[in-house]
Each structure stands twice: as structure tokens, then as C-alpha cells.
Amino acid sequence: MSTTVVRWLGQDGTPQQGDADAMGADLSAAPWVWVDIQAPAQSDLSTIETRFDLHPLALEDSAHNRQRAKVDVYPSGLFLVWVTPYRTSAGAVSSHELDVFIGPNYLVTLHAEPCPTIDTVAADALRTLKGGPDWTLHAIIDQLVDSSLPLVDSVGEQLEAVEEQMLDDPRQEDLLTLHQIRRKLLKLHRIIAPERDVIRGVGRERNVVSENAFRYFQDVGDHLSRVQDSIETYQDVAASVMDIYLSAQNNRMNEIMKQLTVVATIFMPLTLLSGIYGMNVVGRPMYPGGMWPPIEAQWSFYAVVGSMVVIAVIMAGYFRKKKWW
């Protein structure tokens, strides 16, 4: 069910507030009108289209959840879509959309869900309404941009924790976490990147935004630049952490292969000896007494095993000296 709040300045300069019926009243004495609609229905869109002479294409865009920031210029004013990221209860990154119609004497804000930022701005209605629609829009966007900073910083802190873990002891679970962080950063970049162009587009329209307000919109653009720079920096760090993980895994595999190679090399002569002495034939005697150690001797088994141990120790020591193991 939609909820409509209409705000304007009375003739005595005090802020006034009404519901949807106030849009049909004579507000010509008010310098401008702010209409805020939550979960707008088609009838609400038809009402504001007639009341403020809004372009049908802009109304059509507002009826669909586009999830991408943009600004369109029409003869009656501007239509802009502003997307704000937020963290869900599950830790993922999602977004809220705010559709805005703004002209010289009106401001219309549409949103599907409650918007605490609008409530905060409306709480100081006297200063807000005296400023005009451009200053009110600036106050809303400025707070929405500021709310994005803690979210980006929290993702950065999560990335730093994963980076430390990767450097210490990389695990498969950390790789999964890293992929989740990279998806969050990608979604944040898709949301924030177009909004700088929106700020520039709004600021160029002098029939809607005053020269003084334009400077403050530029300040919001600077905040957006800082947010985007942070996102891009974290994306670079995430790519570096991925390289660190892959390098660590390759190094670990190389160490394992080196150790297995050393072990296999040590056992090669031992296998040769065990194969020779495991044959069921007696070859030509190495000396008149027969093979050494004598097959009939009880200590022959221990002599062969001892020879194997000596050979293994010598080879292991040689490999250690060469730092191959």
C-alpha cells in the first residue's frame, strides 16, 4: 500500500504537511512542493504526472526497478535514478533505488521501501523547505553517499583479514571468502561508477540547480570519487591476494614434489639392492667364498639392510647439504 506525504511552506513561512489529498489543493502560494511517495501505485504516478506535467517516458522508467543510476533531462525538469548499496542480514550487498523528479518548483521522490535518509532530511523541514528543491535533493543524496562509505570500508576490512590469513596459512575456505568479496566489490563498482555522471548531469541544469547549490553537488561528487577510488583500490588488492594464494599453492606443490622426488631418489638404490638380493639365483661368486654377504650366514640379512641404511643416510645428507631438501 502506497504512502504519500506532501510538504510545503505556508504563507507564514512555517512548514506544512499533508497526505495525497493535498496534491489536489491549491498550493500556488507555496514557493515549491515536495511530494514523497513510498511504494507508489499506478494511480499515484498518474496523479503526479498531471500535477507536475511529468514526461511519460520518465513515469515509465519510474514504474520499473532499473537498478542503475542515471539522469534524464525533460522540458519540465529532471528525472534521476539514484541507487544506494547496503549490506543485507546475510552479509551480501544489495541496493535501494530512489527515483526523483525535480523542477524549479517541485521535488518528487519515489521509493519502494522505507527510506530513513528522507525521514532524516524531512525532520528538519523548516531549513529544508526554505532551501528549495535543489538543496533538498542535495541533502538527500549527500546522506545517501555518506552511508556508502562505512559499507565500502567494512568490505575493505574483511579483505584485509583474508589477506593476512592468505599470507599466514592459505586455505580453500579463504579462497571462497575472497571470491565473495570480489563479487561484492564488483557490485559496489557497478552501483557507484555511474553516479558521478549523474551528479555532473544534475549540476549542469541551471534552471533546476542554482550556482551556489552546484558547488555543493560538486562536493558530493568528490565524496563519490573517494568511494570509487576505495573500491578500485580494494579490487586491486583482491586481485593481488588471489595471486598470493595461487603463488602459495604453487610453491607448496613444488615443495611437496621436491620432497617426494628426494624420497624416491633415496629409495632407488635401496630398491636395486633389494631386487638383486631378492633373486632366487646365485650368480658368479664375487670371491671364492661366494656372494657377500654369504647366503647361508644368519647375519647376511642384517648386513644388507644396514648397507641400505648407510646409503640412505649418505644420500639424505648430501641432498641436505645441497639444500635440495
Domains and CATH numbers, the chain: 3-248 (3.30.460.20), 255-321 (1.20.58.340)
Rounded distance, CA 197 to CA 60, Å? 22
- Three-state secondary structure call for residue 152: helix
Task: Give DSSP secondary structure letters for 256-294.
Answer: HHHHHHHHHHHHHHHHHHHHHHT-SS--S-SBTTBSSS-
Rounded distance, CA 325 to CA 321, Å? 9
- Three-state secondary structure call for residue 301: helix
User: Looking at residue 249, what is its pLDDT?
Assistant: 78
User: Looking at residue 325, what is its pLDDT?
Assistant: 67
| Residue 193 DSSP code | T
pLDDT in 10s for each residue of the chain, 325 residues: 788 898 888 777 788 888 888 877 777 778 899 999 999 988 889 999 988 999 999 998 888 877 689 999 998 899 999 999 999 888 889 999 999 999 999 999 999 999 999 999 998 878 888 889 999 999 999 999 999 999 999 999 999 988 888 777 777 788 888 999 999 999 999 999 999 899 988 988 888 998 889 989 999 999 999 999 999 999 999 998 888 888 877 887 888 888 888 888 888 887 877 776 665 545 444 445 556 676 667 777 788 788 888 888 888 888 788 777 6
Query: How buried is residue 176: exposed, middle or buried, by Cβ count under 10 Å (0-12/13-18/19+)?
Result: exposed
pTM: predicted TM-score of the whole model, two decimal places: 0.76
User: Looking at residue 143, what is its pLDDT?
Assistant: 94
User: Looking at residue 186, what is its pLDDT?
Assistant: 93
User: Looking at residue 189, what is its pLDDT?
Assistant: 93
